[in-house]
Amino acid sequence: MAATILDVASLCGYSKATVSRAFASPDQVAEKTRQRVYEAARALNYTPDAIARAMVRGRTDNIGFVIYEKQYPVVLNPFYSPIFESVLQTCARKGYSLFISSDRDLRLPNGQTCVKKQMDGIILAGQSDAQMVMDLRRQNMPVVVLNNALDVDDLTCVTTDQYGGALLAMRHLTERGHRKIGLIAGAFSPHVCTSRYNGYCDALREIGQPLDFRFVQTVEPNAEQAMQCATMMLSLPDRPTAIFCTNDTIAVGTLKAALRAGLRIPHDLAIVGFDDSEISHLVEPELTTVRVDKAAMGCLAAEQLIAQIEGEQSQKQVIQTPVELVIRQTT
């Protein structure tokens, strides 16, 4: 149906090799020839077929972005949107297109990880596990892990300074004189959870405040659950004067609970979130939070993966993007 390279070749009188070169490496072809080829191509409405191209070149110029979180839906996650955006732009700049899927697409019924080789590499975002990475590796698939730190040989992981961010948030609260500080933690990947939790604990230790487990709660990371949890925590007789939430969605839920309880923010209760998601400056009062450089994360992950694809040797490294406290109105 559609015109092929052969149609173009016979129309302009050159061989298909020359037509191919006119498109793929124009500098190897005489100026005059190139023009004739283009002219014929336009006349026939011809576009090189990417599939045939991929077949012989052995690469597709596609990158897979796999979000891997326990809970569906996953693209909704406001944390990943800006990262995804950044990955998309970086890939576009380097000439790659983006494939998106959840980890389910990769899982075979037998529990193995399969890859229908339509992509040159994979960015594994979220709660990726080492097994999956190794399965992919065994199929010679370049992999970069995003927002997680996995202990696999020669694996590049792009994450952020979870521990430092938590410490930053907590010290900010302790510096304002808070002693009874609650923690409402979302159930993310172990890497994220433990790092942020450690930051919480160490900051309390710094001021000699013992851990009070009534003030430490884990919830599914959505606003409703967080609100319920915060409501309970705030109704304790000696309730905390500040709450550190391990992401902004949870912080928003906490904020709602506080407002409904009639508390004045930040006078009666201080709240700090994490991630600096869009939502953090949409609520009123605006949320103090830990900014994560999502653009850098996405860009780095894409660049690292592309470097790997294009032949550079990959070395084991965990790249941590820096973190920054954004003080707004809830502290």
Partner DNA sequence: TCATAAAATGAGAACGTTTTCACTGAAAGG
Partner DNA sequence: CCTTTCAGTGAAAACGTTCTCATTTTATGA
Residues near DNA (CB under 7 A): 2, 4-6, 13-18, 20-21, 23-25, 27-33, 46, 48-49, 52-53, 55-58
Report the SS3 class of residue 87.
helix
Which among a copy of itself, DNA, none contacts residue 177 (Cβ within 5 to 8 A by kind)?
none
Least distance between a copy of itself and beta carbon 75 (Å): 5
H or E element that contains 164: helix 162-175
Q: Whole-angstrom Cα distance, residue 250 to residue 246? A: 7
**Residue with Cβ nearer a copy of itself (139 or 194):** 139
The pair of structure tokens assigned to 88 is 């998309």
**Residue with Cβ nearer DNA (46 or 188):** 46
Per the CB < 8 A criterion, the answer to whether 136 and 143 are in contact is yes
Q: Whole-angstrom Cα distance, residue 266 to residue 260? A: 14
**Residue with Cβ nearer a copy of itself (47 or 315):** 47
Q: Whole-angstrom Cα distance, residue 230 to residue 235? A: 8
Query: Could you list the residues that contact a copy of itself (CB under 8 A)?
Result: 1-2, 45, 47-52, 54-55, 60, 62, 72-76, 78, 81-82, 84-85, 88-89, 92, 97-102, 104-105, 114-118, 138-140, 223, 249, 252, 255-256, 259-260, 278-279, 281-284
Name, in order, each residue with C-beta under 8 angstroms of 51's C-beta and a sequence gap of 6 or more.
none
Least distance between a copy of itself and beta carbon 164 (Å): 26
**Residue with Cβ nearer DNA (49 or 224):** 49
Per the CB < 8 A criterion, the answer to whether 66 and 301 are in contact is no
Q: What is the DSSP string of 57-76?
A: HT--SEEEEEEE-SSSP-TT
CB atoms within 10 A of CB 161: 19
**Residue with Cβ nearer a copy of itself (49 or 312):** 49
Per the CB < 8 A criterion, the answer to whether 35 and 18 are in contact is no
Least distance between DNA and beta carbon 11 (Å): 13
Which among a copy of itself, DNA, none contacts residue 73 (Cβ within 5 to 8 A by kind)?
a copy of itself
Least distance between DNA and beta carbon 60 (Å): 12
Per the CB < 8 A criterion, the answer to whether 289 and 272 are in contact is yes
Which among DNA, a copy of itself, none contacts residue 201 (Cβ within 5 to 8 A by kind)?
none
**Residue with Cβ nearer a copy of itself (174 or 314):** 314
Name, in order, each residue with C-beta under 8 angstroms of 175's C-beta and a sequence gap of 6 or more.
none
Which among DNA, a copy of itself, none contacts residue 114 (Cβ within 5 to 8 A by kind)?
a copy of itself
Least distance between DNA and beta carbon 305 (Å): 21
**Residue with Cβ nearer DNA (73 or 95):** 95
Which among DNA, a copy of itself, none contacts residue 116 (Cβ within 5 to 8 A by kind)?
a copy of itself
Find the farthest-apart pair of alpha carbons in the chain and give their distance in angstroms, rounded: 89
